[in-house]
């Protein structure tokens, strides 16, 4: 005697071709104990004055036809279709006003192509407004009872006239991204290495970016004489080359960029650091009011404290400090990059166009002693 709900596919009868897709009449048969009514099987009394709506739940991607549009097919008229406005499921249901006995059949029109992994649920509700409630059932005579089973059912079929997905633009996906990545080689960049020469254009641009003021080269030269660690800069040709950039000389009067080809990189980096320190000291002295150009004014409101108003000369010193800091940082980065490297012309990156959600079909037991 069958004590549980038992759902099985009873038959697939070929039907018409609709929208270029062959369709069929699918019939599912629901069985339960032959000595009890539907009411009694789910815990209701047969005398209760209520209707029961029983349905099979399928994915909304399956093109199940509304039986109301096929009044000439008497076999499907007892079945109705409900497609909620939200969600990804649909319900093929029947209404029962009187207690029904086993079996009950659900007939509907859907694509004839069969899918052996169609997810099906058995649900019911007492009123049209109440939510659906799951019912446990079996899909095989010797199978397990569950709220959802994977069994034979209609497949998801696209009409032939539909544009194939492969030809649609995937606006939210990325498949191939062409890139060129420079990978510099690690070579010797010590002070005595040959790499200290060359880079004349970079060196020329660095000295111009410093915007040297009159007397700054001499100030650096005086500090070199006082600091033994900077004696390597004390060459007359080096100082004369830098002094030609002081003030606001015309571009045509500047030396050629090729004059810097033999100037060591570390010498210019050290020169730039000393310039930055000199300008920073000058800016700090100006902010403390030690500069004779600073003016002291008093507020005319009550007994407010005196306010230091920096002069235009103080602002210029801060601006020159800013130029030196940016120039030194940029030159340090540029001079640290090797002129030789490898250029990767290809790189593939992949991003998903979307996520397709599905149902779990089962689990396989795994054991180190079984699977090898």
CB 25 within 8 A of CB 107: yes
* Residues 49 and 148 reside in one and the same domain: yes
Stretch 111-119: mean pLDDT: 92
Q: Residue 249: what pLDDT?
A: 84
Banded pLDDT at 289 (limits 50, 70, 90): low
User: pLDDT at residue 204 above 80?
Assistant: yes
% of the chain at pLDDT higher than 70: 66
Position 363 in a domain: no
* Residues 141 and 46 reside in one and the same domain: yes
pLDDT tens figures, 297-332: 343 334 334 434 455 678 888 888 898 899 888 888
**286 contact partners, CB below 8 Å, separation of at least 6:** 293, 294, 310, 313, 314, 317, 318
Residue 41 belongs to what domain range? 6-154
Banded pLDDT at 114 (limits 50, 70, 90): very high
Ramachandran area for residue 277 (φ above 0: left; ψ -120 to 50: alpha; else beta)? alpha
% of the chain at pLDDT higher than 90: 20
Stretch 276-283: mean pLDDT: 89
Q: Residue 346: what pLDDT?
A: 60
* Residues 216 and 319 reside in one and the same domain: yes
Stretch 138-146: mean pLDDT: 85
Q: Residue 296: what pLDDT?
A: 42
Report yes or no on whether pTM surpasses 0.85. no
User: pLDDT at residue 2 above 90?
Assistant: no
pLDDT tens figures, 16-70: 999 889 999 999 998 876 556 666 666 565 555 567 889 999 999 999 999 989 9
* Residues 34 and 127 reside in one and the same domain: yes
* Residues 329 and 241 reside in one and the same domain: yes
* Residues 118 and 228 reside in one and the same domain: no
Banded pLDDT at 201 (limits 50, 70, 90): confident
**306 contact partners, CB below 8 Å, separation of at least 6:** 296, 297, 298, 299
User: pLDDT at residue 175 above 60?
Assistant: no
Q: Which of 154, 172, 207 is the last residue of a domain?
A: 154
**22 contact partners, CB below 8 Å, separation of at least 6:** 14, 15, 111, 112, 113
Q: Where are the beta strands (DSSP E) in the chain?
A: 6-18, 21-31, 52-59, 80-82, 89-96, 104-111, 114-125, 133-135, 148-154, 181-184, 295-297, 307-309, 341-344
Banded pLDDT at 270 (limits 50, 70, 90): confident
Calpha distance 287→193 (Å, rounded):
42
C-alpha closest to that of 280 among 227, 312, 320: 320
Position 350 in a domain: no
Ramachandran area for residue 251 (φ above 0: left; ψ -120 to 50: alpha; else beta)? alpha
Stretch 112-131: mean pLDDT: 88
Position 249 in a domain: yes
Q: Residue 24: what pLDDT?
A: 94
Banded pLDDT at 196 (limits 50, 70, 90): low
Q: Residue 164: what pLDDT?
A: 57
CATH number, domain of 110, equals 2.60.40
* Residues 208 and 337 reside in one and the same domain: yes
CB 96 within 8 A of CB 128: no
Which position has the higher pLDDT, 114 or 221? 114
* Residues 328 and 229 reside in one and the same domain: yes
User: pLDDT at residue 9 above 70?
Assistant: yes
C-alpha closest to that of 60 among 76, 83, 79: 83
C-alpha radius of gyration, the chain, whole number: 43
Calpha distance 178→194 (Å, rounded):
35
Number of alpha carbons in the 13 Å side-chain half-sphere of residue 14: 3
Position 370 in a domain: no
Position 352 in a domain: no
Position 167 in a domain: no
Q: What is the DSSP letter of 166?
A: G
Position 369 in a domain: no
Position 339 in a domain: yes
* Residues 128 and 196 reside in one and the same domain: no
Calpha distance 3→41 (Å, rounded):
9
Which position has the higher pLDDT, 111 or 332? 111
When divided into structural domains, the chain yields a total of 2
Which position has the higher pLDDT, 184 or 271? 271
* Residues 231 and 112 reside in one and the same domain: no
User: pLDDT at residue 200 above 90?
Assistant: no
Q: Residue 62: what pLDDT?
A: 93
Tell me which of 15-29, 244-258, 344-358 is least confident.
344-358
Which position has the higher pLDDT, 371 or 324? 324
* Residues 196 and 233 reside in one and the same domain: yes
Q: How many Å separate Cα 339 from the centre of its chain?
A: 34
Average pLDDT, the chain: 76
Q: Are strands 295-297 and 307-309 parallel, antiparallel or unpaired?
A: antiparallel
Stretch 73-78: mean pLDDT: 91
* Residues 325 and 225 reside in one and the same domain: yes
Stretch 92-119: mean pLDDT: 87
Phi, psi of 128 (to 5 degrees): -65, -25
Phi, psi of 274 (to 5 degrees): -65, -40
Q: Are strands 181-184 and 307-309 parallel, antiparallel or unpaired?
A: unpaired
Please report which residue ranges of 37-182 form alpha helices under DSSP H: 38-41
Please report which residue ranges of the chain form alpha helices under DSSP H: 38-41, 200-210, 216-226, 236-243, 265-287, 312-335
Calpha distance 327→357 (Å, rounded):
55
């Amino acid at each position: 005697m069958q004590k549980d709900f038992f759902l099985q596919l009873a038959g697939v009868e070929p039907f018409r071709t609709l929208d270029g897709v062959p369709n069929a009449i699918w019939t599912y048969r629901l069985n339960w104990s032959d000595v009890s009514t539907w009411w009694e099987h789910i815990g209701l009394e047969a005398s209760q004055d209520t209707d029961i709506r029983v349905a099979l739940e399928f994915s909304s991607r399956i093109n199940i036809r509304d039986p109301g549009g096929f009044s000439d097919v008497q076999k499907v008229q007892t079945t109705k279709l409900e497609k909620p406005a939200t969600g990804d499921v649909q319900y093929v249901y029947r209404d029962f006003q009187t207690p029904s006995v086993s079996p009950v059949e659900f007939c509907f029109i859907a694509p004839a192509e069969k899918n052996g992994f169609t997810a099906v649920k058995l649900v019911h509700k007492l009123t049209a407004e109440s939510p659906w409630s799951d019912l446990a059932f079996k899909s095989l005579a010797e199978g397990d009872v569950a709220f959802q089973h994977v069994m034979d059912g209609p497949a998801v079929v696209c009409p032939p006239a539909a544009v194939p997905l492969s030809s649609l633009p995937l606006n939210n996906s990325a498949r191939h991204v062409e890139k060129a990545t420079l990978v510099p080689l690690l070579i010797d960049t010590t002070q005595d290495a040959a790499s200290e020469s060359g880079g004349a254009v970079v060196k020329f641009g660095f000295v111009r970016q410093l915007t040297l003021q009159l007397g700054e080269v001499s100030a650096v030269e005086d500090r070199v004489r006082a600091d033994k660690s900077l004696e390597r800069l004390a060459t007359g040709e080096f100082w004369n080359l830098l002094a030609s950039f002081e003030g606001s000389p015309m571009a045509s009067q500047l030396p050629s960029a090729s004059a810097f080809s033999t100037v060591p990189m570390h010498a210019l980096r050290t020169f730039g650091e000393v310039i930055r320190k000199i300008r920073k000291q000058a800016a700090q002295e100006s902010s403390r009011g030690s500069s004779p150009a600073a003016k002291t004014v008093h507020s005319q409101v009550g007994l407010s404290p005196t306010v230091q108003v920096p002069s235009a000369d103080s602002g210029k010193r801060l601006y020159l400090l800013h130029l030196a800091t940016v120039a030194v940082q940029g030159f340090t980065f540029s001079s640290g990059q090797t002129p030789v490297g490898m250029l990767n012309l290809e790189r593939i990156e992949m991003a998903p166009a979307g996520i397709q959600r599905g149902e779990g079909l089962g689990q396989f037991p795994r054991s180190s002693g079984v699977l090898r």
